């Protein structure tokens, strides 16, 4: 793959796999043959040991006794580790709050918290031995639910207030007011490849950890702290993950730290791969929220003021709950201008697993609150919710200030929505559905068109930086490395396209290599949809450094002005002559030109003052809209997604095929979050839905019967991003809201669309039926 000795094609018009081409995923061929290597597939060196975690069996309490003698005596067991065996700092809190032990020390704070680790000759021996432990607890009262915590509950991190204008006054003065509450559930990532870490001890204090992580640099730092060694002793590498979705942003730390501690202590390779049940029990999820809202509006549906409180179940530690709940507030407007607004977050401590990043990072929960308000206003006025949406969209020159005082400069929501409204034949179908419902007493249809406006950038400004490392070998083949990680989203191929485009070489000349802290240091998580924006630019920067040196060299060598050196497909033109790229590289090497470069990029323009609630946290916004039609059985609450039409914009797309895949997949994942994916904790605080038998992500037969996904072909980023493209990882998830609102619309039809169904999420058949019953009873809430 790397090296090709083709005859020089001086007429070659175009390279294979440049930007804006539908290049296949770089590993597609290996995926389908089973040859793609995930961490559990790597050959195990002789002497490899396997770890299993012993999890707490109460939600909150002091550890009064830990009898691990039977565990130690079990067949195949080599060592048992507890908090006392952590040589460095027993903490992996990503924010430095020191609130998240690697192994519980003295007390446990949720059911399923890792208390000890068994290291054995086989994974099965470790799993079996784990169950022999006798740990006793003095149980203490546990706060499981948001409602248990109450409005004055303990917070895990400082809350945020966003405020513009006089929300309370504006609402009080409004002709109409509605106050309500909404519950929106959490979500398990259900990456198909579970968490895994494989640690290999090296000489001195060194250790190499293969970790299925979106954030190798953080794993490196956490492992270093846990071992009490410098970061330079720890190398973390990941070629690919079997899905991440935010669940491997911080949640990989614990597994990596334990594997590394065991590996260094025993001087043998140690692999830690929890089973699915332990993975789901012991790792954080999307935050569920209780949203209190009040909206003031006029008789025409114009929103005059809103007041939100977003209370989140954060679990026992802060983890990323601060930025997640912040982002919920950043999206409490979705695409709507609020003349007066106040939004407050309440990141609540609970005795549950510490919730974490998940695609959208609080943004989806924020938007769901905005869309509920639209429904409230629409049903109160007996208007189509789409009319209310359109009436309240951000403007372009006026009405364009967000609750965090950033001006929306790139607003295209009206265009996206109006084009989708036409292409999905919204008005016609609205009439057809009304006619259908009039004659169908049991099955009701519903329709909704919801927009998405999603802010792109890490809200912690310093994370918006990236590095890349590009080598050109003497045969003209290229080695590409950068700080981004591949979890299926196609980042590696997109960045390789950028490099191929810059050098004007076919993409198979660019070798994509595993992300490792040894090549690019101090990277940010591959998160916030930022992967290709940041790493694409960093790789472009590295490539341009090398190109600049090649231009200097060629100008001298061929004795032509620099502006006559052109990189053409597969070749370089110097004045009147053209030579293959590889030949130029060979000559440059002989002339001692440096053919390697470290690239760097930092996002311009952004700044954020959290204390003041003001700034420009987002470089730009990504827009899309979705129109969903559902049918609902009002006897059982069962439903079917009949049709979905999506129009989404990804700027000038680097790779339309990859982007459409992100949109289709993101939509279905968002739909799952809001429909069948229900997390249930029992009375003891134990997660009852800890495997796919009880936790139901969408199947092929759940996707819309008719599913039309279109990219806005006119779109381009207003900011100078790589190729003027836009981020695509997270925004499409929120297109799934259209299904929740179509369900709400179908339920509302039972009461003549005059009462807001207040359908909470996930809208399981049970919640849908109970909402129908409320409509029938006329209670309305």
Partner 1 sequence: MKSRNEIRFLLNGESLALGEVRPDETLLDLLRIRRRLIGTKEGCAEGDCGACTVLIGRLRGGELVYESVNACIRFVGSLDGCHVVTVEHLKRTDGTLHPVQQALVDHHGSQCGFCTPGFVMSLYALWMRVPQPSDQAIEKALQGNLCRCTGYEPIVRAARAISSYGEASDDPLAAECAAVIAALTAMRDGARVEIGSGGERLVVPASVDDLAAVLEAEPKATIVAGATDVGLWVTKFMRSISPVVFIGALDELQAVNAENGVISIGAGVSYTEAFALLSARIPQLGALIDRIGGEQVRNMGTIGGNIANGSPIGDMPPPLIALGATLTLRKGTARRTIPLETFFIDYGKQDRAAGEFVEAVHVPVPRPSECFAVWKISKRRDEDITAVLGAFNIAVADGVVTHARIAYGGMAATPKRARTVEAALIDRPWTYETVEAALAAFETDFKPISDARATAGYRMLAAKNLLRRFFLEGVEGHVPLQVSRYEAA
Q: Which residues are catalytic?
A: 730
Q: Is residue 632 involved in binding partner 1 (CB under 8 A)?
A: yes
Give residues 223-262 in contact with partner 1 (rule: CB under 8 A): 240-245
Q: At what angle do helices 321-330 and 363-381 cross, to 10 degrees?
A: 30
Query: Distance between CA atoms of 90 and 106, rounded to whole angstroms?
Result: 12
Give residues 461-520 in contact with partner 1 (rule: CB under 8 A): 487-490
Query: Which position among 227, 650, 764, 771 is part of the footprint of partner 1 (CB under 8 A)?
Result: 764
Query: Distance between CA atoms of 423 and 748, rounded to whole angstroms?
Result: 25
Say if strands 510-512 and 478-482 run parallel, antiparallel, or are unpaired: parallel
Residue 334 or residue 675: which is nearer to partner 1 going by CB?
675
Say if strands 443-456 and 620-633 run parallel, antiparallel, or are unpaired: antiparallel
Say if strands 571-574 and 577-580 run parallel, antiparallel, or are unpaired: antiparallel
Distances, alpha carbon 368 to alpha carbons 296, 353, 404, 549, in Å? 18, 23, 18, 51
Give residues 30-59 in contact with partner 1 (rule: CB under 8 A): 30-38, 40-41, 43
Nearest approach, Cβ of residue 703 and partner 1 (Å): 5
Residue of 319, 317, 311 whose CA lies nearest to 347? 311
Residue 546 or residue 747: which is nearer to partner 1 going by CB?
747
Query: Which position among 60, 128, 225, 264 is part of the footprint of partner 1 (CB under 8 A)?
Result: 128
Q: Is residue 637 involved in binding partner 1 (CB under 8 A)?
A: yes
Q: Is residue 4 involved in binding partner 1 (CB under 8 A)?
A: no
Q: Is residue 699 involved in binding partner 1 (CB under 8 A)?
A: yes
Query: Which position among 185, 698, 731, 757 is part of the footprint of partner 1 (CB under 8 A)?
Result: 698
**Quick check: bond before 762 cis, omega within 30?**
yes
Cβ atoms 754, 382 nearer than 8 A: yes
Q: What burial class does residue 577 get, using C-beta atoms within 10 Å of its C-beta: 0-12 exposed, 13-18 middle, 19+ buried? A: exposed
Residue 212 or residue 543: which is nearer to partner 1 going by CB?
212
Residue of 456, 153, 155, 171 whose CA lies nearest to 342? 171
Give residues 653-692 in contact with partner 1 (rule: CB under 8 A): 657-658, 660-661, 664-669, 676, 678, 680, 682, 688-689, 691-692
Q: Is residue 76 involved in binding partner 1 (CB under 8 A)?
A: no
* φ, ψ (nearest 5 deg) of residue 608: -155, 125
Q: Is residue 266 involved in binding partner 1 (CB under 8 A)?
A: no
Give residues 143-182 in contact with partner 1 (rule: CB under 8 A): none
Query: Which position among 64, 154, 423, 636 is part of the footprint of partner 1 (CB under 8 A)?
Result: 636
Query: Which position among 100, 103, 127, 510 is part of the footprint of partner 1 (CB under 8 A)?
Result: 127
Query: Distance between CA atoms of 479 and 539, rounded to whole angstroms?
Result: 11
Return the number of other C-beta atoms located less than 10 Å from residue 644's C-beta: 27
Give residues 191-210 in contact with partner 1 (rule: CB under 8 A): 191-194
Query: Distance between CA atoms of 106 and 137, rounded to whole angstroms?
Result: 10
Choices 189-197, 376-384, 456-464, 570-578 (CB under 8 A): range interacting with partner 1 = 189-197
Residue 88 or residue 665: which is nearer to partner 1 going by CB?
665
Q: Is residue 216 involved in binding partner 1 (CB under 8 A)?
A: no
Q: Is residue 640 involved in binding partner 1 (CB under 8 A)?
A: yes
- The size of the interface with partner 1 (CB under 8 A), counted in residues, is 91
Residue 228 or residue 692: which is nearer to partner 1 going by CB?
692
Beta-bridged to residue 81, according to DSSP, are: 117
Residue 505 or residue 630: which is nearer to partner 1 going by CB?
630
How far from the centroid of its chain's Cα atoms is residue 503's Cα? 31
Q: Which two tokens stand for residue 277?
A: 């049940």
Q: Is residue 440 involved in binding partner 1 (CB under 8 A)?
A: yes
Query: Distance between CA atoms of 97 and 106, rounded to whole angstroms?
Result: 18
Query: Which position among 12, 183, 399, 696 is part of the footprint of partner 1 (CB under 8 A)?
Result: 696
Choices 158-166, 413-421, 433-441, 613-621 (CB under 8 A): range interacting with partner 1 = 433-441
Query: Which position among 460, 600, 707, 710 is part of the footprint of partner 1 (CB under 8 A)?
Result: 707
Query: Distance between CA atoms of 84 and 101, rounded to whole angstroms?
Result: 11
Q: Is residue 110 involved in binding partner 1 (CB under 8 A)?
A: no
Q: What burial class does residue 20 get, using C-beta atoms within 10 Å of its C-beta: 0-12 exposed, 13-18 middle, 19+ buried? A: middle
Q: Is residue 709 involved in binding partner 1 (CB under 8 A)?
A: yes
Residue 119 or residue 769: which is nearer to partner 1 going by CB?
769
Query: Distance between CA atoms of 766 and 771, rounded to whole angstroms?
Result: 9
Residue 511 or residue 703: which is nearer to partner 1 going by CB?
703
Q: Is residue 275 involved in binding partner 1 (CB under 8 A)?
A: yes
Nearest approach, Cβ of residue 277 and partner 1 (Å): 7
Cβ atoms 269, 201 nearer than 8 A: yes
What torsion do the CA atoms of 374, 376, 381, 386 make, to the nearest 10 degrees? 30
Nearest approach, Cβ of residue 123 and partner 1 (Å): 9
């Amino acid at each position: 793959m790397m090296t090709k000795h083709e005859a020089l094609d001086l007429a070659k018009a175009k390279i294979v796999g440049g930007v804006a081409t539908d290049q296949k995923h770089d590993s597609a061929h290996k995926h389908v043959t089973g040859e793609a290597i995930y961490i559990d597939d790597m050959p195990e060196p002789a002497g490899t040991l396997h770890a299993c975690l012993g999890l707490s069996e109460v939600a909150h309490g002091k550890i009064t006794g830990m009898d691990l003698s039977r565990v130690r005596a079990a067949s195949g067991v080599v060592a048992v580790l507890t908090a006392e065996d952590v040589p460095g700092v027993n903490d992996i809190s990503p924010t430095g709050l020191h609130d998240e032990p690697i192994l519980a020390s003295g007390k446990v704070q949720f059911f399923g918290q890792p208390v000890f680790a068994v290291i054995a000759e086989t994974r099965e021996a470790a799993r079996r031995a784990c169950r022999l432990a006798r740990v006793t607890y003095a149980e203490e009262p546990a706060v499981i639910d948001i409602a248990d915590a109450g409005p004055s509950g303990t917070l895990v991190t400082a809350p945020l207030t966003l405020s513009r204008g006089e929300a309370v006054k504006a609402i009080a003065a409004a002709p109409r007011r509605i106050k309500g509450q909404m519950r929106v559930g959490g979500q398990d990532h259900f990456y198909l490849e579970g968490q895994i870490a494989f640690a290999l001890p090296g000489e001195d204090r060194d250790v190499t950890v293969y970790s299925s992580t979106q954030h190798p640099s953080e794993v490196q730092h956490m492992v270093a702290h846990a071992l009490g060694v410098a970061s330079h002793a720890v190398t973390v590498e990941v070629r690919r993950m079997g899905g991440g979705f935010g669940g491997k942003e911080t949640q990989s730390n614990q597994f990596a730290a334990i594997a590394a501690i065991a590996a260094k202590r025993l001087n043998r390779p140690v692999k830690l791969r929890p089973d699915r049940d332990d993975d789901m029990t012991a790792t954080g999820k999307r935050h569920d929220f209780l949203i209190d809202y009040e909206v003031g509006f006029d008789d025409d549906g114009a929103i005059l003021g809103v007041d939100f409180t977003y209370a989140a179940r954060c679990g026992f530690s802060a983890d990323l709950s601060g930025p997640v709940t912040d982002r919920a507030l950043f999206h409490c407007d979705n695409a709507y201008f609020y003349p007066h607004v106040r939004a407050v977050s309440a990141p609540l401590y609970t005795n549950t697993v510490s919730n974490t990043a998940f695609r959208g990072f609080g943004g989806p929960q924020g938007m769901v609150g905005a869309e509920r308000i639209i429904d409230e206003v629409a049903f109160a006025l007996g208007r189509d919710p789409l009319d209310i949406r359109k009436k309240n969209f951000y403007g372009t020159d006026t009405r364009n200030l967000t609750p965090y005082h950033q001006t929306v400069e790139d607003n295209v929501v009206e265009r996206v929505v109006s084009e989708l409204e036409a292409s999905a034949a919204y008005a016609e179908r609205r009439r057809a559905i009304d006619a259908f419902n009039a004659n169908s007493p049991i099955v009701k249809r519903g329709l909704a068109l919801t927009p998405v406006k999603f802010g792109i950038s890490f809200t912690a400004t310093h994370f918006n930086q990236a590095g890349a490392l590009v080598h050109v070998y003497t045969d003209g083949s290229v080695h590409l490395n950068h700080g981004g990680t591949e979890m299926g989203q196609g980042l590696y191929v997109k960045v390789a396209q950028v490099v191929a485009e810059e050098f004007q070489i076919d993409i198979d000349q660019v070798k994509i290599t595993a992300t490792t802290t040894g090549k690019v240091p101090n990277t940010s998580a591959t998160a916030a949809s930022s992967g290709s924006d940041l790493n694409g630019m960093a790789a472009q920067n590295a490539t341009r450094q090398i190109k600049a040196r090649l231009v200097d060299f060629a100008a001298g060598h061929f004795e032509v002005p620099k502006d006559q050196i052109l990189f053409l497909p597969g070749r370089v033109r110097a004045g009147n002559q053209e030579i293959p790229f590889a030949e130029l590289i060979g000559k440059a090497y002989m002339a001692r030109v440096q053919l390697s470069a470290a690239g760097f990029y930092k996002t311009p323009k952004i700044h954020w003052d959290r204390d003041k609630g003001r700034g420009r946290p987002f470089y730009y916004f990504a827009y899309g809209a979705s129109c969903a039609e559902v049918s609902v059985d009002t006897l059982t609450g069962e439903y079917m997604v009949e049709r979905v039409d999506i129009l989404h914009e990804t700027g000038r797309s680097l790779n339309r095929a990859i982007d459409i895949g992100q949109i289709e997949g993101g939509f279905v994942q968002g739909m799952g979050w809001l429909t069948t994916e229900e997390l249930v904790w029992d009375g003891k605080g134990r997660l009852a839905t800890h495997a796919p038998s009880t936790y139901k992500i969408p199947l092929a037969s759940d996707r819309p019967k008719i599913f039309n996904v279109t990219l806005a072909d006119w779109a381009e980023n207003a900011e100078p991003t790589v190729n003027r493209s836009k981020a695509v990882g997270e925004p499409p998830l929120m297109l799934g809201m259209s299904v929740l609102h179509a369900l709400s619309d179908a339920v509302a039809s039972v009461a003549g669309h005059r009462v807001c169904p207040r359908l909470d999420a996930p809208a399981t058949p049970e919640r849908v039926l109970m909402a129908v019953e409320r409509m029938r009873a006329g209670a309305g809430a």
